Amino acid sequence: MSRICLCLTGSTLARDMDVLEKYRKYIDLAELRVDCLDPDERFLIRRFPEMAGLPLILTIRRGNDGGRYVGGEASRVNLLAKGLAYAAADQRRNFAYVDLEEDLNVPSLEEAARAFGTRVIRSWHNLEGVDEDLVGRLRKLRRVGDEIVKIAVKPGSLDDVTKVYQAAKETRDLDKILVCMGSYGVNTRILAEFLGSRVSYTSPLGETDLPKGAPGQLDPKELSELYRFRSITTNTKVFAVSGYPLTVAESPRFFNTVFRMEKIDAVFVPIPADSVHSLMRLAQEIGISGISLTTPYKEQILPFLSEKSKEVLSIRACNTVVNGPDGWSGYNTEALGFSDELLAFVGRKDLKGRKVTIVGAGGAAKAAASEVFRLRGKALILNRTTARARSLAEPYRFQWAGLDGRGAELMEKYSDIILQTSSAGMEPNDDVDPIEFHNFSGREMVMDFVYKPEKSLCLSRAEAAGCRVQNGLDMLHRQARYQYVYFLNKEFPPSLISRVV
């Protein structure tokens, strides 16, 4: 079973111990990154296993392998030897593992390690991509039968991640650690069990003074509690949220909280995808059961669907796909989630007589336009690309314009309700207001689909003018409850509605 390893990157052993105590209940072992220690502290590392009181990996990572050690190789070998020297008969007072790179050939180190039960991790780091023959590389790494082989790679695409999962299947017999660094590899850190990886490395992200162990590492508490890492097996159902760039995603927190409350053997993971094709290839490779789609794949997914709901056919956008025996089925839960929230917000049963501005022309805007039309409202579509605004508006006989002078003029007539559906203003681009040209009168009702930050620049400006405002979080939860129905083929438990916030 895969275990959670905390990377200790403090400049002193005392700081590392502080971090270790804080996160101890979330981890199974720790890696002492000696390369991050101050030079004087490095000579004291032999004491650390007894201080720590849990299994430790001794690592002195070189700069070309993503570490911070800048001394000569001879001095690095000498430090490794100091960490292994004077081994105690009680193995708990020794390092449990030592990480030695593929090109490090010092038999005396290996002999010293094995003499007192310290296992060698034979490692290879590729910071430029994924090796062409990853299976061959894994099999050649191990020099003797008791070594654990470790490969850490930096995927340049989601297809690279799929190659790692495929290589893991072909090397089931190896005792190994597989690491995919960077944002593309976050799913592999959660699904380490699917890789047959002995360890998933984490960093204490709340400790801002400490360097991260490697790009893409999760916080140990987040991995342990939110993703319930220790309960994941190869039989666990996998669901995902995917888009690009996937900088903000509330869905994992929502669904993993529900799975925990209901004791469902499932996990919901974030998967940034550079193309919808690569996303579907990965989904097939690891058997993803369902995906929540965000920008820009709500329209691009349509050709991959063997079945489309009537809402998808009407709106021409899909935010929910489910993997079944006959292929992928697509649904749109944004429309109902949006209209439920909008009607609750405005306190009406329909939009008859209301004039609405919809900012954006993507998948969320399509759902909003469809529902505004169904609820008998009249709308103006504004988008930076006017051709897209026109394409969305014409089927409903709505007005359309660009984010320009004409759009500003028309917006004055369509400002009973303003729906900001684009990602403009969402973290990390939270300094953007797509309708900065509009002067709020205080009479408008403004709903911004952005939920991080809690109040976008646009929403804050509207509120300051006296407008009623609403962000997109409640709407997201409403549409997620509809997704739950498709993902799990059962109604969302009413008792959980007030508990998942």
Indicate the SS3 state at residue 395: helix
Q: Which of 332, 410, 408, 343 shows the shortest CA–CA distance to 365?
A: 332
232, amino acid identity: I
Q: Which two tokens stand for residue 148?
A: 């654990």
Count of C-beta atoms within a 10 Å radius of residue 316: 18
Residue 284 to residues 135, 136, 322, 323, 328, Cα–Cα distance (Å):
20, 24, 12, 9, 10
Contact 121, 144 (CB under 8 A): no
Indicate the SS3 state at residue 499: coil
Residue with tokens 């008792």: 495
Q: Which of 432, 300, 277, 413 shows the shortest CA–CA distance to 356?
A: 413
Cis peptide bond upstream of 296, omega within 30: yes
Work out whether strand 288-293 and strand 355-359 pair parallel, antiparallel, or are unpaired. unpaired
* Catalytic residue check, 298: yes
Spell out the residues 6+ positions from residue 490 whose beta carbon is closer than 8 angstroms to its own: none
Q: How many CA atoms lie within 13 A of 193 on its CB side?
A: 19
Tell me the C-alpha distance between 59 and 61, whole Å.
6
Contact 120, 95 (CB under 8 A): no
Cis peptide bond upstream of 325, omega within 30: no
Choosing from 298, 308, 366, 378, which is the catalytic residue?
298
E strand residue ranges, 127-228: 148-153, 176-180, 199-202
Tell me the C-alpha distance between 398 and 381, whole Å.
7
Q: Give backbone dihedrals phi and psi of 110, rounded to 5 degrees, phi first.
A: -65, -40
Residue with tokens 């030695």: 100
Contact 246, 98 (CB under 8 A): no
Work out whether strand 320-324 and strand 417-420 pair parallel, antiparallel, or are unpaired. unpaired
Tell me the C-alpha distance between 495 and 394, whole Å.
42
Burial class (CB in 10 A: 0-12, 13-18, 19+), 144: exposed
Residue length of the chain: 501
Would you please indicate which residues are annotated as catalytic (active-site) residues? 298
